[in-house]
Structure 1
Amino acid sequence: MSRNTNLEEILFPVKLCDIFYDGGPSDPTGDPSCETTEEWRISIPGYRAVVNALTGEPLAVVSKNYRLVTNQEAFLLGEQCFKAVFDAVDTSEMEIFNIITPKQKSFCHVDIVHKHYALNIWAQEIWLPFIRLTNSYNRTRALHFTLGFCRKLCDNGVIFESETIEFRFFHTKDMIPKGEFEIGFHHLKELETAFIDQMTLLKAFHVPENLVLPLACQALGLKFDLRATDHQKREKEHHKFDILKEGIQALTERYFSQLGENGYALLNIVSDYASRPFGAPLQSMRINVFQKRTGSWIGSFTRAIRASDFNISTYLGPYLDYSL
Structure 2
Amino acid sequence: MKGGITKEVFEEAEKQLQKLFFDVEFRKLMVCDSEGIFPVKNFKALVRKGTDKVFSVVSPEYTLITNNYAIKIGREIFSKLFNVNDVEKIRPYFVRYPETYSYCQIKLVHEDVNFNVFEQDTWLPFIYIANSYNKQFALNYEVGFVRSLCLNGVVFDKEIISIRLPHNQINKLNLENLRFDMYDQLKSNFINNIRKLRDFKVENKFVMPLVCKIFSLNFKSVNEHKNDDSFNSTSAEIKANNDEVKLNELKYVVNNLTNKYFREIGDNAYAVFNIVTDLVSNEQEGFRLLKKFNSISNSLLSQPGKWFEEFSEKISSPTFRLEDYLKNDN
TM superposition score normalised by structure 1: 0.86
Residues 1:257 and 2:263 aligned together? yes
Which residue matches 2:232? none
CA distance in 1, matches of 2:221, 2:258: 22
Post-superposition offset of 1:266: 0.7
CA distance in 1, matches of 2:221, 2:319: 31
User: May I ask how many residue pairs the two structures share in their alignment?
Assistant: 303
- Go from structure 1 to structure 2 and tell me whether the alpha carbon gap of 1:221 and 1:298 turns closer, same or farther (over 3 Å shift): same
Which residue matches 1:110? 106
Between the two proteins, what is the percent identity of the paired residues? 30
CA distance in 1, matches of 2:56, 2:117: 44
Q: Deviations over 1:240-279 (max 9, x none)?
A: 2111111101111111111111011111111111112425
- Go from structure 1 to structure 2 and tell me whether the alpha carbon gap of 1:282 and 1:202 turns closer, same or farther (over 3 Å shift): closer
Post-superposition offset of 1:198: 0.8
CA distance in 2, matches of 1:178, 1:245: 43
Q: Is the 8 A contact 1:84 1:181 kept in 2?
A: no
Which residue matches 2:132? 136
Post-superposition offset of 1:215: 0.3
State the Cα RMSD in Å. Answer: 2.4
CA distance in 2, matches of 1:244, 1:318: 23
Which residue matches 1:12? 22
Q: What SS does the aligned partner of 2:252 have?
A: helix
**What pairs with 1:188-199 in structure 2 (closer than 5 Å)?**
188-199=183-194
Which residue matches 1:172? 168
Letter of the aligned partner of 1:300 in structure 2? E
- Go from structure 1 to structure 2 and tell me whether the alpha carbon gap of 1:281 and 1:16 turns closer, same or farther (over 3 Å shift): farther
Letter of the aligned partner of 1:262 in structure 2? N
Of 153-162 and 40-49, deviating more is: 40-49
CA distance in 2, matches of 1:299, 1:277: 25
Which residue matches 1:33? none
Corresponding residue to 1:234 among 240, 243, 249: 240
- Go from structure 1 to structure 2 and tell me whether the alpha carbon gap of 1:185 and 1:94 turns closer, same or farther (over 3 Å shift): closer
- Go from structure 1 to structure 2 and tell me whether the alpha carbon gap of 1:292 and 1:166 turns closer, same or farther (over 3 Å shift): closer
Corresponding residue to 1:247 among 246, 253, 260: 253
Q: Is the 8 A contact 2:122 2:149 kept in 1?
A: yes
Gaps of 5+ in 2: 3-8, 227-236
Corresponding residue to 2:285 among 278, 287, 291: 278
Q: What SS does the aligned partner of 2:19 have?
A: helix
Q: Is the 8 A contact 2:160 2:183 kept in 1?
A: no
Post-superposition offset of 1:288: 5.1
CA distance in 2, matches of 1:299, 1:226: 32
**What pairs with 1:140-219 in structure 2 (closer than 5 Å)?**
140-163=136-159, 165-173=161-169, 176-177=171-172, 179-184=174-179, 186-219=181-214
Q: Deviations over 1:171-221 (max 9, x none)?
A: 113x53465343346321211111110110010000010010010111122
TM superposition score normalised by structure 2: 0.84
Letter of the aligned partner of 1:278 in structure 2? E
CA distance in 2, matches of 1:98, 1:176: 28
Which residue matches 2:327? 317
CA distance in 2, matches of 1:127, 1:267: 14
Corresponding residue to 2:92 among 92, 96, 101: 96
Which residue matches 1:299? 309
CA distance in 1, matches of 2:168, 2:197: 42
Letter of the aligned partner of 1:195 in structure 2? F
Q: Is the 8 A contact 1:135 1:143 kept in 2?
A: yes
CA distance in 1, matches of 2:60, 2:125: 38
Higher share of residues assigned helix = 2
Q: What SS does the aligned partner of 2:253 have?
A: helix
Post-superposition offset of 1:169: 2.8
